[in-house]
Structure 1
């Protein structure tokens, strides 16, 4: 299963954002990683800024390079603003939706739940984290997985409400109602920079 397995705190400090969830390292060391992290960096080129934004989006959604490029290509073929469509496709991933519904505390643990066959889509087990949901799809927890500690703890911690998702606590299932609009997606990503990067 291809995924990023490197140091999380280092990436969070690089972008100065808690990409993988709350980070004590980011609070203690509010500067970039490495021996030159504290020193003032020279002005970044336009390309460097665009590349950094793409890298941030990749790490945020847990997607590797080839998969991200394929998702972007898919976004260019769809109607609408390419950058917004790209984020919609990333939000429609099964692992991301499991995380948004509050079934898992992080996208990484959501990916693991999907891979280990704890999650269903429309009643059928799906173990592909990148599975793309369609409007009306119902994402649920497999019957014998409802007592898993990681799931019960995550749901007990409370979940944020998202307008494009509906959650049924009794059934342990959520509905992907519609594709989210850009202003509804909370991620701090400047998608236009990513579009400009791939357009070169």
Structure 2
């Protein structure tokens, strides 16, 4: 489901593995410098980023991890800033509870990109009804079910068999291929290599 090379190049540019998959780790370990003819030279010349550079990098990492564009990311920030509580925590919770991300977290797909494709192609049901909107905001109690026709798909079977422990904020019923969002995740449960406060600072200076 998709070519891994563009994703690996992006992670090499950031200088870290943003998606915990062995193939990405191998690629970044083998070439721990930015892509391109002068990647090694750039790595040697790379100095300390400015405050804005750090903020921009964290924002780009967050957008990459959740596969969202700039317009969407800005809307999520504005929504998070209006919610009670810590804006950064709210932002991550909104992204983490997107439908495509929860399809990925449940192990129906190996990557967020494959998960988005599954949703877009109508392979996912929410509360028993087909839903093809990847950005749908899942709320506690919503049930996410893999469509019957996809349960024997080779790539899906491989993804399910290779998935790690499920997050504590979801439950899963193996017999029906159904996951349920139990509650909104807290910051400690969202294990991504991003400093969300820098993302908040990026958008704060942009408004």
* TM-score tier (shorter): over 0.9
Contact 1:100–1:160 (8 Å) recurs in 2: no
Q: What corresponds to 2:123 in structure 1?
A: 118
Which of 29, 32, 51 pairs up with 2:31?
29
CA distance in 1 between counterparts of 2:73 and 2:163 reads: 30
CA distance in 2 between counterparts of 1:102 and 1:33 reads: 30
**Residue 185 of structure 2: SS of its match in structure 1?**
coil
- Listed one character per residue, the Cα deviations across residues 4-30 of structure 1 (whole Å, up to 9, x for unaligned) are x99212211111222244413201111
Q: What corresponds to 2:70 in structure 1?
A: 65
Pairwise CA distance, 1:93: 0.4
- Listed one character per residue, the Cα deviations across residues 96-135 of structure 1 (whole Å, up to 9, x for unaligned) are 0001011111111111111110001000001111111001
Q: What corresponds to 1:137 in structure 2?
A: 142
Change (3 A) 1:6 1:29: closer
TM-score, normalised to structure 2's length?
0.90
Runs of 4+ deviating beyond 4 Å:
none
RMSD, aligned CA: 1.5
Pairwise CA distance, 1:186: 0.7
Pairwise CA distance, 1:174: 0.3
Higher helix share: 2
CA distance in 1 between counterparts of 2:59 and 2:78 reads: 14
CA distance in 1 between counterparts of 2:204 and 2:16 reads: 26
CA distance in 1 between counterparts of 2:149 and 2:77 reads: 36
Q: What corresponds to 1:178 in structure 2?
A: 183
Mark the runs of 5 or more structure 1 residues left unpaired by the alignment: none
